[in-house]
Amino acid sequence: ELKVEQNPLFLSMQEGKNYTIYCNYSTTSDRLYWYRQDPGKSLESLFVLLSNGAVKQEGRLMASLDTKARLSTLHITAAVHDLSATYFCAVSKVGGSEKLVFGKGTKLTVNP
């Protein structure tokens, strides 16, 4: 059974600081996704990582994937208040019609 674990679940950081969110998964996967969710809102797709060593960056967020370690990271550089949100990673099962298994999410609060 595919399981996805994120840590930390809660993260409070100051503006300007760097931090990393970790996403571990238990079995071989086709793809790994990162989403952002603001309170009361839907999920916004941030990154889709397709292969080992994949790295994608957008603004202050950078995601990477190590399929051998079954680990993805979401690195936040010089955090700003606007990045406050809940971040989810999700993994699709191999050959599984893109059924996603989600982590529990990391609630990020960036304080001025």
The footprint of other proteins (CB under 8 A) covers: 4, 9, 31, 33, 41-43, 45, 48, 50, 88, 90, 92, 97-105
CB nearer to other proteins: pick between 45 and 111: 45
3-state secondary structure of 9: coil
CB nearer to other proteins: pick between 58 and 68: 58
Among 21, 27, 30, smallest CA distance to 89 is for: 21
To other proteins, the closest distance from the beta carbon of 79 in angstroms equals 23
Only one residue has tokens 């952002």, namely: 36
CA distance 46 to 21: 14
Only one residue has tokens 């996603």, namely: 100
CB nearer to other proteins: pick between 9 and 78: 9
To other proteins, the closest distance from the beta carbon of 44 in angstroms equals 8
To other proteins, the closest distance from the beta carbon of 43 in angstroms equals 5
Please enumerate in sequence order all residues whose Cβ is within 8 A of that of 59, keeping only pairs 6 or more positions apart, or say none.
Answer: none
To other proteins, the closest distance from the beta carbon of 110 in angstroms equals 21
- Determine the residue type at 89: C
